[in-house]
């Protein structure tokens, strides 16, 4: 039972409970359990063109040696939130200018990147392996891996980061370690690596609708799916407890949910929190990356679909 009159909680009895750091379960100001999920996070969209403009402007305002990473975090527009894109995941646009570097570090959070604009000479270095950042590639950085970024090309490289930092923060289990002396990790190898997944190879040839899971079981909290849709192709997701972030690698697609309809182009991102049935329809041939917390929800027994 919940008391609805505020004065019921202002008596000396309740004041004494509060002073002793107790809260009466029969007089909660709001329920702690519901018949079904009531997510606070909302469907939201972020545009690469806007992020690119802001990142480019930062070049003259924020020197590289003053920032661990030159990135823009995609903050879900709900009251009180200052970081997460969905409850357990965060996405961010990041760039490295020509001649710049992003120092090596490692952390307990899992991370990955979808490359939007790059060329040989722009690389991420994961545990000593230099990986060229080629547009469309998905690059993995499981928790605990050393990683840094360098740009030895003549143009800026851009990508989208995805991490499970919000979940790790909720668990209060975050560890972060900069590389000794703030240096870059030396490159010890180049070439093929399981940390690089070219989208074209994963999806194969053709224009048919296709959904492929990649990097299965590599990161215990994050699932990755590449989605290919021909023009007018449609992919539907039922209402379930999984939190999703979608990024367009190529083409254009409309993402719809109740009260939400946005067309996404190259590099645009949409967050689709749990308990939101949604659909993706290709406005033109499109490839999208879906990043979700499905493995996490499955492992803890909270994966459930409506109906």
Backbone angles phi, psi at 304, to 5 degrees: -150, 140
Angle (CA) 141 45 138, round 5°: 25
CATH number of 204-299: 2.60.120.10
Per DSSP, the three-state class of 167 is helix
CB 272 within 8 A of CB 255: yes
pLDDT at 28: 81
pLDDT at 65: 67
Asked if the 44-199 domain carries CATH number 2.60.120.10, the reply is: yes
CB atoms within 10 A of CB 125: 23
CB 260 within 8 A of CB 210: no
pLDDT at 40: 96
* C-alpha span between 126 and 118 (Å, rounded): 17
pLDDT at 8: 64
CB 207 within 8 A of CB 198: no
Q: Which residue stretches of the chain are H helix?
A: 12-19, 48-58, 165-171, 199-203, 294-299
| CA 26 to chain centroid | 38
pLDDT at 66: 67
Same CATH topology for 44-199 and 204-299: the answer is yes
**Model confidence, pTM:** 0.94
- The helix (H) or strand (E) run that includes residue 281 is strand 278-282
* C-alpha span between 291 and 10 (Å, rounded): 46
pLDDT at 239: 98
Angle (CA) 30 34 35, round 5°: 150
CB 104 within 8 A of CB 184: yes
Comparing C-alpha atoms, which of 138, 134, 130 is closest to residue 120?
A: 134
Average pLDDT by consecutive 10-residue portion of the chain (307 residues)?
A: 55 91 86 93 98 92 76 97 98 94 95 96 96 97 97 96 98 96 91 94 95 97 98 98 98 98 98 98 98 98 96
pLDDT at 145: 98
pLDDT at 1: 44
Domain boundaries, the chain: 44-199, 204-299
* C-alpha span between 2 and 144 (Å, rounded): 45
């Amino acid at each position: 039972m919940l008391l609805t009159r505020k004065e019921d909680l202002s008596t000396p009895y309740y004041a004494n409970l509060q002073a002793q750091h107790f809260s009466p379960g029969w007089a909660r100001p709001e329920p702690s359990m519901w018949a079904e999920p009531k997510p606070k996070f909302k469907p939201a969209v972020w545009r690469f063109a806007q992020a690119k403009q802001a990142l480019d402007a930062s070049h003259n305002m924020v020197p590289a040696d003053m920032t661990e990473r030159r990135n823009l975090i995609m903050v879900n527009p709900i009251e009180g939130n200052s970081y997460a894109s969905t409850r357990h995941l965060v996405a961010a646009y990041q760039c490295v200018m020509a001649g710049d570097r992003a120092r090596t570090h490692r952390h307990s959070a899992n991370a990955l990147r979808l490359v939007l604009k790059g060329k040989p000479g722009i690389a991420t270095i994961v545990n000593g392996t230099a990986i060229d950042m080629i547009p469309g590639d998905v690059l993995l950085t499981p928790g605990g891996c050393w990683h840094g970024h360098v740009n030895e090309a003549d143009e800026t490289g851009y990508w989208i980061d995805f991490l499970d930092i919000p979940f790790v923060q909720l668990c209060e289990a975050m560890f972060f370690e900069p590389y000794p002396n703030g240096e870059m990790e030396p490159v010890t190898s180049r070439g093929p690596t399981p940390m690089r997944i070219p989208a074209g190879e994963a999806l194969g040839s053709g224009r048919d609708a296709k959904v492929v899971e990649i990097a299965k079981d590599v990161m215990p909290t994050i699932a990755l799916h590449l989605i290919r849709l021909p023009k007018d192709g449609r992919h539907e997701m039922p209402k379930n407890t999984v939190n999703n972030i979608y990024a367009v690698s190529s083409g254009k697609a409309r993402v719809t949910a109740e009260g939400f309809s946005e067309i996404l182009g190259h590099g645009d991102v949409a967050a689709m929190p749990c308990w939101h049935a949604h659909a993706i329809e290709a406005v033109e041939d499109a490839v999208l990356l879906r990043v979700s917390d499905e493995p996490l929800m499955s492992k803890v027994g909270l994966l459930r679909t409506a109906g």
